[in-house]
């Protein structure tokens, strides 16, 4: 089609544009093609086909109960506007405690009371998620506290080192600390 | 600038808008057209997604009856929500989680409650929407740049509409005297086709480009923490309202049908088209459906322990601005008036895709040359005589000869 255009632009940039302008289409088409594997990996992650999360942390015993914990994404916290940096974890309650646990919470640092237990998990006992803010001042040796509240009013807590819960977050904190 | 050369300039602007990215624009139009009827395509391709009445006059199950039927068949399944597509030929869709953590959607027969099948792991609806809406670019920090890329196209689309109407002299006459010449060669045919489709699509192109630009504004506002929302934070059930059970078993909750009944009393005319179960012990049952204004949903949050309505979002709760902005999405997708509206959107989506192709055909047959000529005319005086000669030779060719 460009053969109809007889006059060639005189500047180098103009000639370059003239020669390559329709190749923008190709570049634009490469975008969804390139992101397609990522799209399907995410779709499978959201649907639970590829497990609880990108990185399983393991089973955490919390009093008489236990839950399986996973990092939703095996990566550093993501920025979320004014809320700061957020990190998501997924969890599944043990089979026998499904009917006994009323709610599950997650927090960095030991909660002083049930009312300050942190962010609550949403979802079903088989697969629930919680997204928590990661403050900038979080120490590398911080602990992730899990609080389970029973229907009978009881409360049980357990903690794991943040370095075990999310090495990517600890690495990210270290990197931010040096800046 | 004379009137004639000004209209020539408009014509060149119209011809060159988005031309270098014509294939991108075409794919966005085609995927958008497919996305409009993606639910229907799934219906055609997936027998399990259809609703079959076991016998004439078989009554539809209520939400609680459907939930009971699901639990009877799969006692360990956790149900998150049940929705009733707004046309009777679709099965109910239940979002569920299996004990192994997989969370597909299930197609439920609306008359018998039978689990007809599981949504395939390739979600055609979600895929076409993701391709059309954000070019598959993942959302990692606010809106994805693919979203900006696609929604930015609203600008050249609106520009094409305006410049097209400027250069098409007395376009309104085309409504009364449709002109589609078949016997005058390809260029004439595609030119007539482009103009005819264009004037009948004025409303559609305006709707799509303006709503598309809204998506751009929406992303920009979100990413810059500008909010016009009058909706508060979603309510949570107060701690003292969640019973403590001495036996350690979950507290009893009201049935979904009770929740629907309570919502219907509060929202006159509400036809509950979905019910979401509480997402934890402090969550509400959410009942929602379209109200008197078909473009927007109304929802009510019902305390599952005592049946109190603790939150609601009615048409009347929206500000005037929100009524406009929240109407943008349904106007863009054509999903507000059942199958016929979708088919109208689908039809004009096809027409719009054809206009891109016909515009391109016209361009290859005419505009490339016209542009070269205009370019040469402007340079004529500054150029060396020898070069002028060749340019003149070209520009002397009659335009129709280039058809």
Which of chain A's residues have a Cβ under 8 Å away from the Cβ of B35? Answer: none
Q: Is residue B397 predicted with pLDDT exceeding 80?
A: no
Model confidence pLDDT, tens digit, residues B329-379 = 999 999 998 999 999 999 999 999 999 999 999 888 876 677 677 777 777
What is the third-level CATH fold of A55-178?
A: Immunoglobulin-like (2.60.40)
Inter-chain touch B247–A152, beta carbons under 8 Å? yes
Inter-chain touch A81–B225, beta carbons under 8 Å? yes
Q: How far is A150 from chain B (nearest CA, A)?
A: 7
| Paired tokens of A152 | 């009978």
Give the ipTM of the model, two decimals please.
0.89
Q: Is residue B195 predicted with pLDDT exceeding 60?
A: yes
Inter-chain touch A151–B248, beta carbons under 8 Å? yes
Residue ranges of domains in chain B = 1-46+120-228+341-403
Instruction: Specify the range with the lowest mean pLDDT, choosing from A110-119, B89-98, B192-201, B328-337.
Output: A110-119
Residue ranges of domains in chain A = 12-47, 55-178
Inter-chain touch B80–A31, beta carbons under 8 Å? no
HEC letters along A94-136: CHHHCCCEEEEEEEECCCCCHHHCCEECEEECCEEEEEEECCC
- Pick from A4, A47, A99: CB nearest B249: A99
Which of chain A's residues have a Cβ under 8 Å away from the Cβ of B394? Answer: 6
Model confidence pLDDT, tens digit, residues B202-219 = 999 999 999 999 999 999
Model confidence pLDDT, tens digit, residues B34-50 = 999 999 999 999 999 99
Model confidence pLDDT, tens digit, residues A41-51 = 999 999 999 99
d(CA B221, CA B198): 32
Inter-chain touch A48–B249, beta carbons under 8 Å? no
Which of chain B's residues have a Cβ under 8 Å away from the Cβ of A67? Answer: none
What is the per-residue pLDDT for B304?
Answer: 98
Which of chain A's residues have a Cβ under 8 Å away from the Cβ of B376? Answer: 6-7
Nearest chain A residue to B403, by CA: A4
A37 close to B (CB below 8 A): no
Inter-chain touch A127–B101, beta carbons under 8 Å? yes
Q: Are strands A155-161 and A143-150 parallel, antiparallel or unpaired?
A: antiparallel
A150 close to B (CB below 8 A): yes
Nearest chain A residue to B138, by CA: A39
Which of chain B's residues have a Cβ under 8 Å away from the Cβ of A65? Answer: none
d(CA B209, CA B358): 19
d(CA B330, CA B297): 11
| Paired tokens of B236 | 């949570």
User: Edge to edge, what strands does the sheet with B78-83 contain?
Assistant: B115-118, B105-108, B92-97, B78-83, B274-276, B285-290, B297-302, B309-313
Can you give the pTM of this predicted structure? 0.89
**DSSP letter string, B67-113:** HHHHHHH-TTPEEEEEE--SSTTBPEEEEEE-TTS---EEEE-TTT-
Model confidence pLDDT, tens digit, residues B255-268 = 999 999 999 987 77
Which of chain B's residues have a Cβ under 8 Å away from the Cβ of A47? Answer: 102-104, 121
Confidence of residue A23 (pLDDT cuts 50, 70, 90): confident
Which of chain B's residues have a Cβ under 8 Å away from the Cβ of A125? Answer: 78
Q: What is the DSSP letter of B302?
A: E
Confidence of residue B387 (pLDDT cuts 50, 70, 90): very low
Angle of the B124-134 helix axis to the B22-36 helix axis, nearest 10: 140
Model confidence pLDDT, tens digit, residues B281-329 = 999 999 999 888 989 999 999 999 999 999 999 888 999 999 999 999 9
Burial class (CB in 10 A: 0-12, 13-18, 19+), B320: exposed
d(CA B161, CA B167): 10
Q: What is the DSSP letter of A8?
A: P
Sign of CA dihedral A14, A16, A18, A21: negative
Rounded to whole angstroms, the maximal C-alpha distance in chain A is: 85
A136 close to B (CB below 8 A): no
Inter-chain touch A24–B20, beta carbons under 8 Å? yes
Inter-chain touch B280–A103, beta carbons under 8 Å? yes
**CB–CB of B231/B299 below 8 Å?**
no
Which of chain A's residues have a Cβ under 8 Å away from the Cβ of B379? Answer: 7
Nearest chain B residue to A115, by CA: B239
Burial class (CB in 10 A: 0-12, 13-18, 19+), B105: buried
């Amino acid at each position: 089609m460009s053969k109809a255009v007889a006059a060639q632009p005189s500047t180098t940039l103009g000639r370059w544009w003239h020669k390559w302008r329709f190749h923008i289409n190709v570049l634009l088409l490469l975008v969804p093609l390139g992101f397609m594997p990522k799209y399907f990996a995410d779709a499978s992650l959201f649907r639970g086909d590829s497990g609880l999360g990108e990185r399983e942390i393991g089973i955490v015993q919390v009093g008489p109960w236990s839950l399986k914990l996973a990092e939703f994404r095996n990566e550093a916290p993501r920025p979320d506007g004014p809320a700061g940096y957020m990190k998501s974890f997924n969890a599944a309650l043990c089979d026998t405690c499904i009917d006994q646990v009323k709610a599950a919470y997650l927090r960095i640092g030991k909660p002083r009371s049930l009312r300050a237990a942190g962010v609550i998990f949403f979802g079903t006992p088989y697969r629930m998620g919680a997204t928590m803010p990661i403050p900038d001042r979080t120490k590398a040796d911080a602990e992730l506290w899990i609080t389970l509240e029973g229907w009978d009013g009881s409360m049980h807590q357990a903690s794991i080192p943040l370095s075990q819960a999310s090495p990517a977050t600890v690495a990210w904190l270290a990197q931010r600390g040096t800046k | 600038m004379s009137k004639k050369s000004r209209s020539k300039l408009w014509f060149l602007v119209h011809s060159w808008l988005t031309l270098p990215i014509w294939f991108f624009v075409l794919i966005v139009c085609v995927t958008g057209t497919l996305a409009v009827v993606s639910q229907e395509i799934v219906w055609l391709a997936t027998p399990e997604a259809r609703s079959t009445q076991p016998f004439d006059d078989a009554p539809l199950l209520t939400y609680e009856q459907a939930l009971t039927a699901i639990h009877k068949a799969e006692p360990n399944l956790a149900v998150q929500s049940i929705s009733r597509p707004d046309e009777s030929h679709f099965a109910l869709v239940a979002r569920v989680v299996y004990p192994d953590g997989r969370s597909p959607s299930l197609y439920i027969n609306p008359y018998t409650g039978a689990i007809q099948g599981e949504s395939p792991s390739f979600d055609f609806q979600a895929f076409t929407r993701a391709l059309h809406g954000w070019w598959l670019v993942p959302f990692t920090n606010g809106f994805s740049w693919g979203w900006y890329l696609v929604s930015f196209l609203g600008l050249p689309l609106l520009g094409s509409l305006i410049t097209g109407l400027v250069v098409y002299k007395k376009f309104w006459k085309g409504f009364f005297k449709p002109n589609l010449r078949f016997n005058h060669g390809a260029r004439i045919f595609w030119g007539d086709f482009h103009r005819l489709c264009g004037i009948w699509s004025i409303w559609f192109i305006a709707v799509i480009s303006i709503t598309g630009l809204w998506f751009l504004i929406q992303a920009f506002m979100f990413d810059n923490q500008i909010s016009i929302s009058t909706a508060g934070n979603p309510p949570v059930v107060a701690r003292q309202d969640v019973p403590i059970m001495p036996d350690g078993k979950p507290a009893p909750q009201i049935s979904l049908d009770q929740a629907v009944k309570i919502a219907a009393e509060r929202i006159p005319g509400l036809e509950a088209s979905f019910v979401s179960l509480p997402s934890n012990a402090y969550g509400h049952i959410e009942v929602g459906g379209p109200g008197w204004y078909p473009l927007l949903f109304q929802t009510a949050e019902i305390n599952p322990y005592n049946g109190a309505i603790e939150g609601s979002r009615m048409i009347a709760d929206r500000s005037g601005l929100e009524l406009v902005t929240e109407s943008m999405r349904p106007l863009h997708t054509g999903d507000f008036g059942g199958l016929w509206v979708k088919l109208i959107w689908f039809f004009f989506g096809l027409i719009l895709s054809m206009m891109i192709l016909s515009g391109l055909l016209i361009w290859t047959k005419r505009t490339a040359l016209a542009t070269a000529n205009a370019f040469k005319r402007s340079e004529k005086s500054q150029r060396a005589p020898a070069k002028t000669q060749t340019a003149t030779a070209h520009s002397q060719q009659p335009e129709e000869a280039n058809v």
